[in-house]
Chain A
Amino acid sequence: MSKKITCIVCPNGCEIEIEGDKISGYTCKRGLEYAKEEMIAPKRTITSTVKIKNSNEVCPIKTSKPIPKEKIFDVLTEINKVEIVKPIKMHELVIENVLNLGVNIIATKEFL
């Protein structure tokens, strides 16, 4: 059985075809790795925001590494519980080892 996926590694968006253990249509190494992983355990980098105490703005955050796709909404629930305090440094740790996934939640903007 063959399966077609769109590579999300870069804006080129190559169409990759997977047939058993034959993978074709990728144009770089990262694309091949993405296709392999997508077959066994799909992962995504998640970005969202967290509340900042005494501010009308929120702080953008990201997962330090891609997380398993089926954990996305559980991780977001954890993220939504947090409130952080200024000053916030770029890449400051917001949640360490979220849900024991071996991934941190880090800030992606500086707030003085």
Chain B
Amino acid sequence: MIKKDLVIIGGGSAGLASAVSAFDNGIRDLIILERNPELGGILNQCIHPGFGLHHFHEELTGPEYADRYINEVKKRNIPYLLNSQVLNITKGKIVTFINENGVQKFEAKAIIFAAGCNERTRGQILTPGYRPKGVYTAGLAQKYLNIYGRLVGKNVYILGSGDIGLIMARRMTLEGAKVLGVSEIMPYSNGLKRNIAQCLEDFNIPLRLSNTVTNIFGRDRLEAIEISDVDEKLQPIKGTEKIIKCDTLLLSVGLYPFNSMLKNAGCVVNKESKGSLVDQNLETSIEGIFSTGNVLHVHDLVDFVSEESERAGTNAAKYILNKLSEVKNIVNVSHSKNVSYLIPSIIKVREENENIIFSFRVRKNIKKATIILKNPAKVHYSVKKINLLPAEMIKINVKNLNLLDCNELSLEVIEDE
């Protein structure tokens, strides 16, 4: 079997950034496996501007952002295989993949899993009614339009106010479709405020909050939908039904990490983020298998994907080159109830002072908050933040944490008046 120091699964922004940083930290025997015919991942279909403000301090479109990283990979002559789909990973770090040359295997010292996320589909949110043609996930419609130039419909309704749905509302409008509205079951939108302004308000597209699709009509092709307001328990309110004629319904009801392959390999799952459980180095419960990007937790900003993935690449390189010092203490990390997930779940303490990045989301809008890190005996860190939203991942960078004699750490978001 062919041996490799490092196999990177997925050539999206996460895979590309981790490959570059692993290379820059001394790894030469590495390869990227990508199932698509090109590198760049989801960025290829995100042709709108809005990428790179943190990382490059200028606003780029998705393909432009991808291009910068693809160039870095090419400059270093980092090998990659396209049209190569990974089928399976084992605990022993054997990677099985298939391409035009058949089924092949690599035996890796370390793996970085960067396979991105999937879109939730109708089955998972259980909309009633028939299953006619004309119901698409927003990301799939985006791929058809932005990669192949094919508009999936003319009269469109959108369920869910996530950013992909908002971006597609504008995009389909610009291509001549009529977007009749967006329904969001929650009382607030999950999309960025600027996307509500520039994608909906600019084109007078109505956003209906606390509203959802309650029925779908049409046997062959979608003919109409029924929408209804919902109460506080998210149950449809009788008497508020409204019929809207449309030929297309886009679902923008959320994304989830495409993590099943790591789960099958035996990596412990973080039930809250739906990705793998990782330590501060982004290493999973199996030594030498790292996870990063949307497959670890769904990111709203690619800049944060790149930053996280550079860390994964650096740490995988240290692991391969035996540069990680011995673990002196293990700390379990928990969080308060108003936090929906937190990464990392454990900290392997190797140094007296550790610099650790914590990423998390809150469950509801919080205007003003104090975020603290503490164990029962001591507050280690505290910072104030404003306007915390479930739609926006929060990242805090904590320097010089001394955790040698601590076994529990908890991150708490305290709401301030």
Chain B hits for A76, CB < 8 A: 174-175
The stretch from B27-35, B61-69, B231-239, B274-282 touching chain A is: B61-69
Contact with A along B10-51 (1 / 0, CB 8 A): 000000000000000000000000000000000010011110
Chain B hits for A13, CB < 8 A: 192-194, 197
Tell whether, in the assembled complex, residue B193 and residue A90 are in contact, meaning their CB atoms are under 8 Å apart: no
A-B contact count (CB 8 A): 75
The stretch from A17-25, A43-51, A95-103 touching chain B is: A43-51
Tell whether, in the assembled complex, residue A44 and residue B64 are in contact, meaning their CB atoms are under 8 Å apart: no
Given A45-B49, A62-B49: A56 and B67 interface contact (C-beta under 8 Å): no
Tell whether, in the assembled complex, residue A62 and residue B50 are in contact, meaning their CB atoms are under 8 Å apart: no
Tell whether, in the assembled complex, residue A6 and residue B193 are in contact, meaning their CB atoms are under 8 Å apart: yes
Q: Which chain A residue shows the least CB distance to B67?
A: A90
Tell whether, in the assembled complex, residue B193 and residue A51 are in contact, meaning their CB atoms are under 8 Å apart: no
Tell whether, in the assembled complex, residue A56 and residue B148 are in contact, meaning their CB atoms are under 8 Å apart: yes
Tell me whether B100 is interfacial, beta carbon within 8 Å: no
Chain A hits for B47, CB < 8 A: 47-49, 60, 62, 108
Docked CA distance A48–B49 (Å): 11
Q: How many residues of A contact B (CB 8 A)?
A: 30
Tell me whether B379 is interfacial, beta carbon within 8 Å: no
Report whether over half of chain B's contact residues are helix, strand or loop; otherwise say mixed: helix
Tell me whether B230 is interfacial, beta carbon within 8 Å: no
Tell me whether A10 is interfacial, beta carbon within 8 Å: yes
Tell whether, in the assembled complex, residue A58 and residue B63 are in contact, meaning their CB atoms are under 8 Å apart: no
Q: Which chain A residue shows the least CB distance to B196?
A: A6
Chain B hits for A12, CB < 8 A: 194
Question: Which residues of chain A (30-68) have a CB below 8 Å from chain B?
Answer: 44-49, 51, 56-58, 60, 62
Tell me whether B103 is interfacial, beta carbon within 8 Å: no
Docked CA distance A8–B194 (Å): 5
Tell whether, in the assembled complex, residue B197 and residue A58 are in contact, meaning their CB atoms are under 8 Å apart: no
Q: Looking at the complex, which one of A5, A6, A11, A60 makes contact with B301 (CB distance below 8 Å)?
A: A11
Docked CA distance A82–B380 (Å): 60
Chain A hits for B148, CB < 8 A: 56-58
Q: Looking at the complex, which one of B44, B174, B192 makes contact with A72 (CB distance below 8 Å)?
A: B174
Docked CA distance A72–B67 (Å): 26
Q: Which chain B residue shows the least CB distance to A79?
A: B174
Tell whether, in the assembled complex, residue B49 and residue A47 are in contact, meaning their CB atoms are under 8 Å apart: yes
Q: B48 CB to closest chain A CB, in angstroms?
A: 5
Q: B194 CB to closest chain A CB, in angstroms?
A: 4
Given A6-B193, A47-B61, A57-B147: A69 and B301 interface contact (C-beta under 8 Å): no
Tell me whether B220 is interfacial, beta carbon within 8 Å: no
Tell whether, in the assembled complex, residue B147 and residue A47 are in contact, meaning their CB atoms are under 8 Å apart: no
Q: Which chain B residue shows the least CB distance to A6?
A: B197
Docked CA distance A5–B197 (Å): 8
Chain A hits for B146, CB < 8 A: 49, 58, 60
Tell whether, in the assembled complex, residue A11 and residue B64 are in contact, meaning their CB atoms are under 8 Å apart: no
Given A11-B301, A45-B49, A48-B174: A108 and B198 interface contact (C-beta under 8 Å): no
Q: B270 CB to closest chain A CB, in angstroms?
A: 25
Q: Which of B44, B47, B64, B146 has the most CB of A within 10 A?
A: B47
Tell me whether B53 is interfacial, beta carbon within 8 Å: yes
Chain B hits for A109, CB < 8 A: 44, 63-64, 67
Tell whether, in the assembled complex, residue B61 and residue A108 are in contact, meaning their CB atoms are under 8 Å apart: yes
Tell me whether A94 is interfacial, beta carbon within 8 Å: no
Contact with A along B52-95 (1 / 0, CB 8 A): 01000001010110010000000000000000000000000000
Chain B hits for A58, CB < 8 A: 146-149
Tell whether, in the assembled complex, residue B64 and residue A90 are in contact, meaning their CB atoms are under 8 Å apart: yes
Tell me whether B417 is interfacial, beta carbon within 8 Å: no
Tell whether, in the assembled complex, residue B67 and residue A49 are in contact, meaning their CB atoms are under 8 Å apart: no
Q: Looking at the complex, which one of B145, B149, B174, B198 makes contact with A51 (CB distance below 8 Å)?
A: B149
Tell me whether A7 is interfacial, beta carbon within 8 Å: yes
Q: Which residues from chain A sit less than 8 Å from chain B, CB to CB?
A: 5-13, 15, 44-49, 51, 56-58, 60, 62, 69, 72-73, 76, 90, 108-110
A-B pairs with the 3 shortest C-beta distances?
A13-B193, A6-B197, A58-B149
A-B contact sample (5 more), CB < 8 A, given A10-B194, A48-B174, A110-B67: A7-B194, A11-B392, A15-B193, A60-B61, A60-B63
Sampled A-B contacts (25; CB under 8 Å): A6-B201, A8-B198, A9-B194, A11-B192, A11-B194, A11-B300, A12-B194, A13-B192, A13-B193, A44-B198, A47-B49, A47-B61, A57-B147, A57-B148, A60-B47, A60-B146, A62-B47, A62-B61, A72-B174, A73-B174, A90-B64, A108-B47, A108-B64, A109-B64, A110-B67
